[in-house]
Structure 1
């Protein structure tokens, strides 16, 4: 049975800004619900009253409980969770801990995000490893047979993107991870565009490591990131950049490195923002991840169908079951100009560029696309308003 949709009135009651405008950029930085804002602001005010250290100590119990809350989200144990200041920090910390040497191979896909590709290429050059691209099929989805044909025992890491930044395709990550495991490769999953709009668990994805951000579909504060790493995978990793959060200085020349995922955390962290992230996680769990996914899919399908019916508009999404990201172009009008024109009508979208996802955009001959990402707080009538505004361009 399909999940029940979230009533838009319920969602907008906690998101007043979603009523007066058509906000279609949750894939960039979403509108946080009122409880998240209240939590962050309240803690900042408390820091102003008693200082950051004392305010932090007052919330230690809740911060500690946050590991269990996040573990519930990913379907893992609390000691497999860590918090950072961004999805990029989470992803880079895990990548840097993967042991690589001369002759090792790293596999990536055509929907790889630009920031990840840069890091992969840089690390491979330093280690004497290679980065190799697994092609997509005609539908733009990762070609699983091509992946299986490419895998061998020299592949140490497979980098997967669950949902790319520039379109609605959902990668078949579970099948890809299963193939990678057959040769003993580690699987690093960038889920920054899926966490908060789709259920993301270890069991459902098959990944060894998962990274995400708070500011997108989770509707948390900026400056928040999280990661989950399987205990078995953690034993294979070699974290290098650690401080007194990730290890204890036990003697003049001795340290005791943590054996859990918190080895990837830094001692200094944005406490107010982390508290806000925990509220956002609980908010999503209370609404129900299946309900969120169903509602986001319904809004995106409505927007995609409306845009596809316009004569000068080309929808650029890939795959047969796309996500909540809708990408499109308008004939004779640059995506930046479309974004600006819609902003004048209080409709917020953004632009994805080739530099953010060069493999895929180059293959498709695209430099830029307009990206719209309606969350569950966007009403049906607002989707129609956005389609009408594009039609008038």
Structure 2
């Protein structure tokens, strides 16, 4: 059953399937996860076939497999393949949907303090046209206040747009409850699931969202340069394609054209077919592992990191809220975040640094200019976590 825990035998197999696990303790999965070997091989073999047979000819031979990618993504998020568009990344997917909405001066958007910088830039751009953006701040316990959300809604509210899991924090927004409020008030609802897909079970029907954007390179373990956009069937007429070519149409003449009746109206014809197949193989891999089992292991490993870091003098863990994810953020009194990251890298341990701009409202409100981000995945081990904790303790002790 999916909810059974990943066994040590399975873990050994998943790590054997992943060449990077033999070389580094990788805690930068919120940046880009280590791909399974089969994902890499899928991309490489397709590129080799293109070099031998030609690009269009190779695509013709892989039509069925390329079509299957949409079906696999739909299965992962509980949607339909006609509601999926393949994009280069989550920012592209989110922007395509947002820019496709018919917002006008006087309309209002509600978002949260955890909104990602790419989305925030588009919201700031909308404000220049007379659209009002209302930012809901978390409470003192790091929880998103649903009552404040409902209170902020008025006749001008046309969109609720939130990021489920922030770039620089371990807390999570209650996207299902937010979706219920949006549905109750008949407000268009967009979810950025960039950090969610691949670590957390996401079901678009339970969330009641019209739009969901995601990337491949993070917890999904797909190649960089991949992502997808979900637009519900009922919302596709409300979201205009940002760019358009013949791929987006079902018919075209000198008198006009008709858009195709699915989410691929948001794609352009020319994309990297090898990366698309790699994305599909990564989705297939996580479906085989079981996303519920991935989530169970990710959050338990992240809890071990938080517990270990909290016991180190001068280290502050910054994750707050009712539900925490696989992203662990912390700062050191003894060493700057970037220096600590670099010193850990010399020990074969990958972490990343979250800058102030990534989640601007959150970082400014909490007086943070940077923090270390250690993001765990199911293929990480308890021994690797011990290495991380020991290394942070030794590095900070040397610089006290």
Q: Same fold (TM over 0.5)?
A: yes
Contact between 2:242 and 2:266, CA under 8 Å: does it hold in 1? no
SS in 2 for 1:76: coil
The 3-state SS of whatever aligns with 2:247 is: coil
CA distance in 1, matches of 2:112, 2:7: 34
Q: Name the counterpart of 1:15.
A: 18
Alignment-derived partner of residue 176 in structure 1: 178
Deviation at 1:247, TM superposition (A): 1.6
Which residue of structure 2 aligns with residue 51 of structure 1?
54
Q: Is the 8 A contact 1:74 1:228 kept in 2?
A: no
Is residue 2:295 matched to residue 1:269?
no
**In 1: Cα distance, 2:298 partner to 2:242 partner:** 39
What secondary structure, in the 3-state scheme, does the structure 2 residue paired with 1:103 have?
coil
Moved more, 246-255 or 266-275: 246-255
How many angstroms apart in 2 are the aligned matches of 1:102 and 1:135?
A: 24
Secondary structure at 1:370 match in 2:
strand
How big is each residue's C-alpha offset from its partner over 1:106-141, in whole Å with a ceiling of 9 and x where there is no partner? 111000001100011113323x21111112111222
| Structure 2 residue ranges without an equivalent (≥5) | 396-400
Q: How does 1:93-242 map to 2 (within 5 A)?
A: 93-126=96-129, 128-242=130-244
Moved segments of 4+, more than 4 Å: none
Counterparts of 2:385 and 2:67, CA distance in 1: 40
Task: Write the distance in 1 (CA, Å) between the matches of 2:13 and 2:313.
Answer: 35
Q: Answer with 35-44 or 5-14: which moved more.
A: 5-14
CA shift, 1:245, in A, is: 1.3
Contact 2:143 2:322 in 1 (8 A): no
Q: How far does the alpha carbon of each residue in 1:53-93 deviate from its partner, in whole angstroms, 9 at most, with x for none? A: 11111111111122211111111111111111111111110
Distance between the aligned counterparts of 1:240 and 1:350, measured in 2? 33
Task: Please tell me whether the aligned partners of residues 158 and 188 of structure 2 are also in contact (alpha carbons under 8 angstroms).
Answer: yes
Report the Cα offset of residue 157 of structure 1: 0.9
Structure 2 residue corresponding to 1:24, chosen from 24, 27, 39: 27
Aligned to 1:280: 282
Distance, in Å, in 1 between the alignment partners of 2:342 and 2:121 is: 29
Is the CA contact (8 Å cut-off) linking 2:163 and 2:191 kept in structure 1? yes
1:291 aligns with 2:293: yes
> 2:337 matched to which residue of 1?
335
CA contact (8 A) 2:172 2:321 kept: yes
Q: Is the contact between residue 327 and residue 376 of structure 2 (CA under 8 Å) also seen in structure 1?
A: yes
Indicate the residue corresponding to 1:359 in structure 2: 361
Shift of 1:182: 2.4
Q: Does 1:75 align with 2:43?
A: no
Shift in CA distance, 240/343, structure 1 to aligned 2, threshold 3 Å: closer
Does the 8 Å CA contact 1:169/1:322 hold for their aligned counterparts? yes
Alpha-carbon spacing, 1:332–1:53, altered in 2? closer, same or farther (3 Å): same
Question: 2:365 & 2:66 partners in 1: Cα distance?
Answer: 45
Alignment partner, residue 4 of structure 1: 5
> CA separation in 2, counterparts of 1:159 and 1:6?
38
Pick which of 27-36 and 228-237 moved more: 228-237
Corresponding position: 1:61 with 2:33: no
2:133 is paired with a residue of what secondary structure? Answer: strand
Secondary structure class of the residue paired with 2:302: helix
- Structure 2: how far apart are the matches of 1:241 and 1:367? 36
CA spacing shift, 1:136–1:303, aligned 2, 3 Å = same
Residue 38 of structure 1 is matched in structure 2 by 41
Paired with 2:241 and 2:58, the residues of 1 have a C-alpha distance of 30
Give the deviation of 1:39 after TM superposition: 0.1
Is contact 1:152-1:183 (8 Å) kept?
A: no
| Deviation larger for 253-262 or 21-30 | 253-262
Question: How does the TM-score come out when normalised to structure 2?
Answer: 0.95
| Superposed displacement of residue 6, structure 1 | 4.8
